[in-house]
Structure 1
Amino acid sequence: MAYLETIQSMFKHLHWANQRILETLQNSEENKQANNLFSHTLHAENVWYTRLKGADSSHLPIWAEVSLESCVEMVNQNHHNYAEFLSMLSNIDLDQLVSYKNSKGTEFQDSIRDILTHVALHGQYHRGQINQLLRASDLEPINVDFITFKR
């Protein structure tokens, strides 16, 4: 399987996992910490998409608290943005460098491949933290494992 196909699969998983976490958060007692981690994940997806498109992301929030209703919109918008972006890439494009500044104004250059891999892994890291918070609230963690998605 070509690397682009792997990344596309990772982003299908990312959307599936986001939907599962969102549904759980919507159907359980409010957990502010879990909601904040989830909204951070979605904000970060948007920031990285903005950078991939070559636009300035310095004005975009990373840790802004938003309602779960806003998270629904963000999940759908991020999914649309990345699906469209990924559909226009080739395996050769993955090695292109993207120049961007982080929130502190420091400039970096990373390949599209590394940025997309980071986005997928960053989300999974925070979904794990959310599951830990759910368990601490006596709720069953949500299985968001990649292999479960593939099955």
Structure 2
Amino acid sequence: MNAGKTMYEYHNWAMQLMLDHMDALPENLLNKEVKSSYPTIAKTLSHILAVDTMWIHVLEKVEFQQALQDAMSQLPLTDAYTIEEFKTAFKNIASKYQLFINQNSNLTMTIHVDNPWSGPRETTFEEILLHVANHGTYHLGNITTMLRQQNESSLMMDYSLFWYEDMKVKP
């Protein structure tokens, strides 16, 4: 078992769970402004999608700055997505990650990353996958809070629940 691969699978599972949940809620919740790290659920989902997109490009050996610029340039478009469009976009990005994981059996391989805020460093494919999952989990927590601020229910997305939902994953 590779922790990065498993955590990415969890990230994908949790994102799909949240999007399916959002699909059953009133449509106006997506763009209703609340006090949070992002003003709307749509902008939060758009941010997660942009970061997921940026990191898959980095894994595909696109320079960090270019990957960042390409991903962030999509925000004006993705900020206006519907839940169905987010579902499609997250499925598409998940397919890219799955392809990358399937083609790279050694996720401990290192890659050079030159982050404009933190500087250059070597990291592994696995660490990037862990970061993508951790980042998504953080913002799914934000979305949970945003839903509760609007008197809507959220759902359980704990990693331990994922163990039981996906029997391929062993604790």
**d(CA) in 2 for partners of 1:35 and 1:94?**
34
Verify the 8 A CA contact 2:51 2:71 in the aligned structure 1. no
1:37 to 32, 36, 44: 44
Aligned partner of 2:131 in structure 1 is: 118
Shift of 1:100: 4.3
Shift of 1:66: 3.2
Q: Does 1:108 align with 2:108?
A: no
2:103 to 88, 100, 114: 88
Q: Does 1:47 align with 2:47?
A: no
What is the RMSD computed on CA atoms of the aligned residues?
A: 2.1
For these two proteins, the number of residue pairs brought into alignment is 145
Aligned partner of 2:70 in structure 1 is: 59
Change (3 A) 1:42 1:66: same
Verify the 8 A CA contact 1:98 1:112 in the aligned structure 2. no
Identity of aligned residues (%): 21
**d(CA) in 2 for partners of 1:14 and 1:144?**
10
Structure 1 spans left out of the alignment, 5+ residues: none
Verify the 8 A CA contact 1:49 1:81 in the aligned structure 2. yes
3-state SS of paired residue (1:140):
coil
Which range moved further: 68-77 or 140-149?
68-77
Taking structure 1 as the reference length, what is the TM-score of the superposition?
Answer: 0.84
**d(CA) in 2 for partners of 1:23 and 1:138?**
18
Shift of 1:133: 0.7
Verify the 8 A CA contact 2:48 2:136 in the aligned structure 1. yes
2:93 to 66, 74, 78: 78
Change (3 A) 1:34 1:114: same
**d(CA) in 2 for partners of 1:52 and 1:98?**
10
Taking structure 2 as the reference length, what is the TM-score of the superposition?
Answer: 0.75
3-state SS of paired residue (1:99):
strand
**d(CA) in 2 for partners of 1:100 and 1:46?**
17
Q: Does 1:13 align with 2:26?
A: no
Q: Does 1:146 align with 2:159?
A: yes
